[in-house]
Structure 1
Amino acid sequence: MTREALETSHRTERETEAAPGGENPSGPEVPHQREATRKNAAAGSRVVDAYAASLGRPVMNGTRAKLERQAVELLAQGLPEAWLCDRAREMAGRGWMDMFRHVEMSKAPLAPPAPGRTRPGVPEWCGQCGDDNPAAARLNPRFRTLGELGTGEKCPRCHPDVVAR
């Protein structure tokens, strides 16, 4: 091949045209998903505001960004905003700055879940099992045990393996 032919082939390999008519090649736009993201972002900001109010001073930008990211992710997992605000106030009082860790270790009961918020086929959490981690037990059936995770028996009221029988 000549040098000119090589340059032409490289140029055509590298140059690709955009999708015709400005179409999104990854699929249609989903406005309801964007709206949910906006709502979670606003709620995440309110959770951090509760942290700042309890702290009694403004939160530094880096800490604010980290806590907002964590709050938005926890909200997307279905945890109630009011419950997260209470956990944020607790964190500020103790000088903590990791919402994931605090929520995971929290023993505070959750408000009853909104109807239809659990996955299909997973029974509603009974609210009495998962002593070591009630927040996780509500969202993850694996934690629905009586006693320590992995050593206790499956909850007869809400563990999917037992309820399904």
Structure 2
Amino acid sequence: MPHNADPRAQQSAMHALYSDNHHWLYTWIRKRLDNQFDAADLTQDTFLRIHSRQDVEQITEPRAYIVTVAKGIISHFYRRQSLEDKYLEYLSLFPEPVTRSQEQQQIILQTLEQIDALLNELPPHVKSVFLLSQIEGKKYQAIADDMNLSLISVKRYMKQAYVQCLSLMEDDFFE
């Protein structure tokens, strides 16, 4: 919220935006998710995001703006759900059930989200090389053969991916 905005005017504008659009947005999201509980959560998340990042009085097209924010939140929700599904699928591969506390699971999912975001910043071919090496356990020469690349290119792409990973680790370490 801008520093020069009148807090009462902001609060009043946010209240009006929320009361005028909450039900409409909930219905819009529910049609896309087909789950009332997630729709309710994502509706609230949308308004919280708007409240925390926007001078509400400056919004000229409220529903267009709300939908834009909601689409980003829904996209994040699906990405996180996909990561969670893959993590649970991975856990199911172990012969004995691996039990983790809720806190451990949340930390792992949060880390996976950060890694996913980091990998999405890489060029597609670099990301593919990195995933083939780290997830599928392929050797560099096999990756080079599979992707019709030179061995030196695979090594260069892996270095690029590792540098990106190190930057994430440094960012987290120094926060």
TM-score bracket, normalised by the shorter chain, equals: 0.3 to 0.5
The structure whose residues are more often helix, as a share, is 2
Which structure would you say has the larger Rg? Answer: 1
